[in-house]
Structure 1
Amino acid sequence: MAGQSAADGGPANAEAERPFETMSFEEALAELEAIVQKLERGQLDLEASIAAYERGTRLRRHCEEKLRQAQLRVEKLALDAAGEMKLEPFAPTE
């Protein structure tokens, strides 16, 4: 597969080596989506597939943690007993 150097360990490997801890949610999600596409298309050999799966798992956890942190920061406006506006933590309905 000469035309797929990124999938065979070419330039994309430099991206894969980037520490996910420094990535924004959007960056981590974009890389995770790219990994999923490569795995679904069978573009990687067995060892590269295992490494990509492991990295994808770490990226998924990183994204989940970023979302959890964002949820803790979200606040909503509410009326208190006196009719005054106040901020309170957002509690999602599940």
Structure 2
Amino acid sequence: MPETPNADIATMNFEQALAELERIVQQLESGEVELERSIAIYERGAALRAHCEGKLKDAELKVDKIVKGEDGSLSLEPAQLHQ
């Protein structure tokens, strides 16, 4: 089965995906990219954005905070990263 054009994104860490997404945004903002290429890199950018969002959500789910109860007991509570 042929590999999809964005298959490599799944193996990227957050920093790699974000760096490439920033490069894509710069290319698109420059206005110097041909229409066909603009469409292709826009689609890749959308896939990178989704990947970054997924990585951030995964990290958010892993972050817990330790809460000390009134009786002195400790418990874990999900952190509220978005206010």
Query: TM-score when scaled to structure 1?
Result: 0.75
Checking the alignment, whether the CA contact within 8 Å between 2:66 and 2:75 is kept in structure 1 is yes
Deviations, residues 3-58 of structure 1 (Å, cap 9, x unaligned) = xxxxxxxxxxxxx8661000001000000000000010123111000000000001
Give the length in aligned residue pairs: 79
Residues in 2 aligned to 1:71 and 1:92: alpha-carbon distance in whole angstroms: 7
1:77 is matched with 66
- Cα distance in 1 for partners of 2:6, 2:54 equals 20
Matches within 5 A, 1:19-58: 19-58=8-47
Percentage identity across aligned positions?
51
Q: Distance in 1 between matches of 2:41 and 2:82?
A: 35
Residues 6 and 47 in structure 2, CA contact (< 8 A), matched pair in contact too: no
Structure 1 residue ranges, 4+ long, deviating more than 4 angstroms after superposition? none
Runs (5+) with no aligned partner, structure 2: none
Distance 1:71-1:17 versus aligned 2 partners, 3 A rule? closer
Which 5+ residue runs of structure 1 have no aligned equivalent?
1-15
What CA RMSD, in Å, does the superposition of the two structures yield over aligned residues?
1.8
The 2-side partners of 1:62 and 1:29 are apart by: 9
